[in-house]
Every structure is written in C-alpha cells, then in structure tokens.
Chain A
Amino acid sequence: MTMKTLSLLVVDDDPVIRLLLCQRLTKDNHMVSAVDKGQDALGLLRGDAQFDALITDLVLPDMDGIAVLEVAKSLRPTIEALVITGHASVDSAVEAMKKGAVDYLTKPINFDELSLRLDHIAIRQGLAKDARDILLAKEVTEQEAASTIQALEMRVSELQDALTAAAAILRDGGRDQEDKISQALAILNRT
C-alpha cells in the first residue's frame, strides 16, 4: 500500500497556531497551504489546487468554520475535513461532524494526535486509490480478454460449421468419391 503525502489546506486566524501547524505538518511530509480567513480558503478551493484534506478552526474572523466546511464539501466531495474547536465548544464539533467532518481536535492542539489522525486519512485515501486502480486494471484486462474470447468464439463456430458441412458431403452417398473429396476440401480451404 502507498502511504500518501497529503495536500492540506489549513485555515486558522491565529498566526502562532498557523505557523506551528505548518512546521509540524511539513515535517510529517505533507504539503501545506495556510490561510487566515474563510474567504481565502474558499478562493483556493475554487481554484485549481487539489486538496486531500481541510483543517479549519470553527471560529474565524470573517465566517463560520462550518460554512467553510460545507462549501469545501460541495466543491470537492472527496475532501476530508478536520475541525479545530475551543475546549468548551464540543457541540459545534458535533455539528461539524454532522456536516461531514471526519474528526475534531480541541485546543490546545495536541500535534501528535493530529499526526495520527492525518495518518489515518492518508491510509484511507491510499486504500481508496488502490481500489480505484484495481478496478480500472480489472476493466482493461476484462475488455482485452472479452475481445479475444469473442473473436475465438466466432472463429470456432465458423470452423465447426465448415467441418459439419464437409462431413455431410463426405457422408452423402451416391456421388463420385473424388468429387466429394474435392468439394469437402474446397469448403475447408475457404475457412
């Protein structure tokens, strides 16, 4: 199995947390884009960059973290989302999970815990990719096999018909032997 490097979008208005997140996640071999506003995150999500996961604070200066999550999910249905919440607001974390977040972290952030959660996401995405690759490979192999088998099936049927016709001529009494043989050979040579 392939352990993927994840492409992550981090949204947090606290510059210290943003910096710490970037350092740790980069050290864990992920690629990180970090922004401080919800609108900036949405801008990136609407662009060309591919993100595997979104990590967002639920409280942002310009908009609600849950709204960021909802838009992210609608723009990129396969994106995984982790939300960060204040210690006292587990309710909003539950709300976020209902809206499609896979998990939440409470502040202060435990970075080892975050690493573990991201490992799980990477493993899951790796498995999903492997499954898609296998399906694709199976389809290609099946198509190839199907056209070979179909060609053989038609060919066998033609040969069978020719053999039956040749046998009928040879069996047919009352005609000149040489004539029968040359007629049967003519049929066999044609196929």
Chain B
Amino acid sequence: MNTAPLLAVDGLGKAFDGLVANRDISFVIHHGEIVGLIGPNGAGKTTLFNCLAGFHTPTTGRIAFEGRDVTGSTPEAAAALGIARTFQIVRVFQSMTALENVMVGAMLRNKRVAEARDRAEEELAFVGLSHRADTPASDLTVSEQKRLEVARALATEPKLILLDEVMAGLNPTEVREASALVHRIHQRGIASIIVEHVMEGIMPIAHRMLVLDYGAKIADGTPAEIAENPAVIAAYLGE
C-alpha cells in the first residue's frame, strides 16, 4: 500500500565555506530496505547523514520523507518523523547508565518514565546489552557504546535508522553479530542506511549500495554490481 518511497533525496548538495562535501546526490530508500553507503574517507557520508537527520541544512536539493518535504528541518523534528541516527564518534550520555541512555530515546514516544524504562529494557535486550543495563555508559567499551547508540536510536521507534560506522574497530565475531543485528532491525520493518568501511560486514546483508566519492554519488546498485563497477574500483584504488 506504500507506493511512495520512504525517503527520496533529489539533487542534494552541501558546501562549507567553499568546500563542497555533498554535490547533486539523488537516491531513494524504500520501506525496510538495508542500504550500504560507502566511499573513501572524506567522501561526504557523514555530511549526508547530517543533512538527512536535520543537523545540516542542505545548500541545494530536496529531501522528502514519506512524501513530505523535510529539507532543512531540525534534528528533533526529523527524530519525531521517524529518522534516527547514531554518531560516528560515539556520543553516549556519560553521566547516565546504559538503561537511562536508552530511556531518553524511548521518551520521544512516551514521556512516562516507568513505561519508557520498560521500552528501554526491551531495546537493550534487542542489542544484547541487558547485562550492562545499570552500568554507567562511560564504563562501557567503545563497541558496547556503539550498540548502546543503536538501542537508543531504536527506542525512538524510527522508520529509518542511519548507522554511521557501527562496525568500525570490531573483531570478526563482533562484525558478524553486528550484521545479524542489522538484519533483525530490517525484520522489524525499519529501513537502514549504513555507512561502513568494513566491507565484510555490509556487503552480505545490504540490499543495495550507494557509493560516494568527492561528495558525489558515483554508483547505486546491488553489492555484486558495485563490486564490479569500474568507477568504484577506481575511487578506492585512487585513495
């Protein structure tokens, strides 16, 4: 019944005092889709996330979420509409426990503390951090903090989640677990865009891949197509 794409980005560009971080990027994301977003360092992936989540106002182009124009909205408005994100450099609430971190996310939909706590416990369990619920977030390992950010984002009941390098620095077992987590997010009907340098983590699970280079989209296709795309290979070799 949902024929309109979940997210439609059209001609998006973002410049910082002359430095163009995103240029003329267009793509769509469908409901529940898992989309990988890759590209060399500084390609503009995080900038794109910042535009989608309302942290940056795009210089050009439009962003439509569920058919509604959300270009230049605020982060809090984006979150309310159902766009959640994690941060490449983790930003957990240091003075709170893991559970309390997730509760803050859950409070977007339910301001009652007790109910937000129940919801947060479910999400902690979902990412496998139940045993750390009462641990101060600052005492978690970095990989646990990244998972905590995922739980916190999921607690806002998003329709689209933007994951920025959640697999960076993980060992192979942990990467597999993270891939499984992304798959379970997909099973909940939540679409995800995943920025990742860890190809083994993203290629097997992504339905589609977007590739950025120097701020522009250079490829958009299945992981298999991307792996053979000459422009992509050139971008990575030229790094």
Q: Do chains A and B interact in one complex?
A: no
Binding site for B on A (CB under 8 A): none
